Chains A and B, each alone.
Chain A
Amino acid sequence: MKYALLVYTDQSSWQALSDVESARQRAEAMPGWNRLFEEIGKADPNVVSRELASASAAQVVRVVDGKTVVTDGPFAETKEVLGGVLVAELPDLDEAIRLAALVPAAEYGTLEIRPLSNR
């Protein structure tokens, strides 16, 4: 079954950091991410994983009465925003839960597991 692991984090705290400090924290988290990629790669060599650019670069598009309306910002006004996506073919939900718990961001953010629809 194909699962999407959606990584939600509060990016405001990141943005408050200096470049040096944010680089240091990223470096610190690297071994955790490497371990995740190793494990998830074992489960599915074709895993897709992408980090999204900061939510401050997001826009929302709607079509209202045939007109395209673009507004600034991510869709939901919540502290935690979608920051990354992993999509992998996994044997079952327990494996998805195990891998989600390996995502370093799970310690300071939230991981949502969504099976892909096979329609």
Chain B
Amino acid sequence: MKSLHEFLTMGGYAAYVWPAYAVAAAVMIANAVLPGGRLKRLKAEIRRRKGAGA
């Protein structure tokens, strides 16, 4: 890349390159965040049940 402008326009392919990277980022973020949240909720649920004497 020679300039910021060239980077942003991707030499005329911005309409394809940036959406592809945006979708990739969305999929990666979802993959990174969802299991952690599920694990946290599951742990809380198990702890709650144990606390309730179940």
- Say whether A and B bind each other: no
B interface residue numbers (CB < 8 A to A): none
